[in-house]
Structure 1
Amino acid sequence: MTIPDYGKEFDGKRVVVTGASGIIGTWIAEAFSAAGAELLLCDNRVEPLKDLAGRLGAHSVVSDLSTELGVEELLVALDRLWPTADILVNNAGIYPRTPVATTERGLIESIFDVNVIAPFQLAQHVIATMTEAGVEGSVINLSSGAAQRTTRTGGVYAASKAALEMLTKALALESAEAGIRVNAVAPGFAPGSEVSDLPAEHVDKMRRTIPLGRTSGPRDAPSAILWLCSSAASFVTGTTLTVDGGRTAGDFTPTPRSS
């Protein structure tokens, strides 16, 4: 994976990445590690997290961010490790496919606990410690094109991501005077980001809905995140950067090839 060279800008920067064992979380962790950052990685999957942290020489904590205890475990580990983080990447998320009309309260709460409440609480804590330490850091929330367009079984997830984007704006306004920037990145479809394997025909079908003609790869979302956290984006806060090959721009049908 080739990421734009930011020189020594990220050397020694303290970066927290949640959901680090998923495919996009792994790409993000690898990008910051390659740029010289010191990492605290969090996930609820023990062995994949252990393997990733070992490979990158990163700190790690196993916790379930769907619970108040899990969020507290991450914050305790963070406070023991550093006075504050320089960058927080709220990447952890879940996407149960469920129709809005028949989804039970418990599942709705689980989706919002991971996708909204955990980022909310982690950002509150990190922004407070950044402010106290005088660190002009960055918070990145991982959103989704689902915040703009949904499906018949994706409405609850879509609502959670729309809430996360509004939370991003609110936190950006509240932390701007401290020099802390808060943004969101909405990655495109990345085969392997699902818990279960996707059939090749489904991946191909999705690819054909993407105007730029390919699925998301290892440098796409990480490049956007590193840019937003760099001095090159020092005047950018409260926004969502969509990195999806144009998929959420509108419906797309490839032009038939002439024979």
Structure 2
Amino acid sequence: MDFGTEFQGRKVVITGAAGIMGRALAEHFVQAGAEVCSTDLSTQGLSGFAVAADLMTDVGNDALLNAVATRWGAPDVVVNNAAIYPSSFLLDMDVSDWDQIMALNLRAPFVLMRGFAHQMIRAGQGGAFINISSGAARKMRRTAVTYCMSKSALDRMTKGFALELAEYGIRVNCLEPGFAAGSSVSALSQEHIDRVMAAIPLGTETAPEDIGQAALFLASSAAKNITGTSLAVDGGNSAGSMDVYQPKKSAL
């Protein structure tokens, strides 16, 4: 999708920018002409306007908010991408692990949306928030229940902010990536990958460029009448499963 010069000079904040998805998001906005503030625990591997911030802490969130305010006054687009996905049964989970998941996956987006929204409102310029959610917001997964809960809550919070910020011309949406076999956090067996892929209607993984293009769309004027919704970019996985329990019938 060609957005022309629409993103020239627009100011975009992307959290979790050191990961596979975060880098792809940053690259797409830069290629479209935007100025990007990339943030992660470390600035290693980040280019341009980069901020090191631990978003599990108030100090880290304040550091990012203050850095953007000092440099830009206010952003035009904020992509809340930073998240963690630890694997643990609820019966085995430490309370500290629960707190960390909720701190990064839910509390940080709240603090940042509240803070950046105030900046946008003071600037009188409108804006857009994109919260990176997951199909886990729709369906519980064993050993990832807390992650699922955090994404379900993020979806509801997105709708709440969309309602409250609409009068200021600020749109808030979720973007839900689908299955991707590559992970810097956990390795997946080929058997697991094959089983998951066979159940996806389009039979496709979600590539980083798929999410990059979708984020550009949600941040663009093409989506000017879209707020408070979730866009699933998952090959139809959220619509249902292709698992069958009988031989395929003919089309007619």
Q: Is the shorter-chain TM-score for this pair beyond 0.5, marking a shared fold?
A: yes
User: Structure 1 stretch 244-253 or stretch 233-242: which is displaced more?
Assistant: 244-253
Taking the aligned partners of 1:40 and 1:191, their CA distance within structure 2 comes to 28
For 2:37, the aligned partner's letter is: L
Structure 2 residue aligned with 1:227: 217
Taking the aligned partners of 1:194 and 1:241, their CA distance within structure 2 comes to 24
User: Structure 1 stretch 215-224 or stretch 30-39: which is displaced more?
Assistant: 215-224
Q: In 1, are the aligned partners of 2:126 and 2:168 still within 8 Å (CA)?
A: yes
2:83 is paired with a residue whose SS is: coil
Taking the aligned partners of 2:103 and 2:120, their CA distance within structure 1 comes to 24
Matched, 1:107 2:104: no
Q: CA deviation at 1:220?
A: 1.1
Q: In 1, are the aligned partners of 2:162 and 2:170 still within 8 Å (CA)?
A: yes
Taking the aligned partners of 1:205 and 1:46, their CA distance within structure 2 comes to 37
Structure 1 residue aligned with 2:173: 183
Match of 2:161 among 152, 163, 171: 171
Taking the aligned partners of 1:153 and 1:37, their CA distance within structure 2 comes to 38
For 1:123, the aligned partner's letter is: M
Q: CA RMSD of the aligned region, Å?
A: 1.8
Match of 2:83 among 88, 93, 98: 93
How does 1:1-259 map onto structure 2 within 5 Å? Answer: 4-49=1-46, 53=47, 58-253=48-243
For 2:116, the aligned partner's letter is: V
2:38 is paired with a residue whose SS is: strand
Q: Flag the 1:47–1:204 CA change in 2: closer, same or farther, 3 A.
A: farther
Taking the aligned partners of 2:40 and 2:192, their CA distance within structure 1 comes to 27
Structure 1, unmatched stretches of 5+, are none
Q: In 2, are the aligned partners of 1:149 and 1:248 still within 8 Å (CA)?
A: no
Taking the aligned partners of 1:114 and 1:31, their CA distance within structure 2 comes to 24
Taking the aligned partners of 1:104 and 1:84, their CA distance within structure 2 comes to 38
Q: Flag the 1:256–1:69 CA change in 2: closer, same or farther, 3 A.
A: farther
Taking the aligned partners of 1:190 and 1:45, their CA distance within structure 2 comes to 24
Taking the aligned partners of 1:151 and 1:237, their CA distance within structure 2 comes to 27
Taking the aligned partners of 1:62 and 1:196, their CA distance within structure 2 comes to 24
Q: CA deviation at 1:33?
A: 0.7
Q: Flag the 1:121–1:159 CA change in 2: closer, same or farther, 3 A.
A: same
Taking the aligned partners of 2:110 and 2:56, their CA distance within structure 1 comes to 12
1:224 is paired with a residue whose SS is: helix
Taking the aligned partners of 1:111 and 1:228, their CA distance within structure 2 comes to 26
Q: In 1, are the aligned partners of 2:69 and 2:119 still within 8 Å (CA)?
A: no
Taking the aligned partners of 1:145 and 1:41, their CA distance within structure 2 comes to 25
Report percent identity of matched pairs: 45
Taking the aligned partners of 1:193 and 1:13, their CA distance within structure 2 comes to 30
1:153 is paired with a residue whose SS is: coil
Q: CA deviation at 1:14?
A: 0.2
For 2:8, the aligned partner's letter is: D
Taking the aligned partners of 2:108 and 2:165, their CA distance within structure 1 comes to 18
Q: 1:68-121 CA deviation, whole Å, 9 max, x = no partner?
A: 221122112112211100000000000111122332221111000000000000
Superposition TM-score, scaled by structure 2 size: 0.93
